[in-house]
Structure 1
């Protein structure tokens, strides 16, 4: 079966702030591209493919009510602390997924006003 998730883009009103936010809370380095009116900070490749990016473009605005993208993290409590320390807000705290063999999820509002999900096995 082919992968269902091909690529995601997280909209940013303040591109630099959003890049710093995600690099800090996920402990990653993004690759930044500036294409005239649009900017993109690509997350590190997974299995040779970039899974997504932080994007700035006129008319592509952050929203609390858009598509929910969930990001993987190793330590949800530590990630929550980084979210709060960097201007984010926890919406749904760490919650056990009831399906057998599944981990935990939470949601937060990022530095740009997007609602984003987190997933962790622990």
Structure 2
């Protein structure tokens, strides 16, 4: 627990970038239909992730990045969310269910960095 268990790549053109990463690294991409944005699950030989439609403008070169988000697997989503808020963090995207997989949410740290938190739960709905 409390380790990086999932990563995400933001993309302006997810279908094209999925082909790129598949060709370069051999990752498998599976399009999901449960979110209101274009989203592909990524299966690698170790840690798995996702490729999603970028929700903002492409960062300018040399201006920092906002393209990769890590999600931390936790035992209790709600307890960790309370700790994040109590310590000055903010909610970026409230808790939601990924059916039959987990509960997921996104937060912003004290330096405006986005990170995810998820709790594995096969009964999530």
Q: TM-score, normalised by structure 1?
A: 0.46
With the length of structure 2 as denominator, give the TM-score of the two structures.
0.45
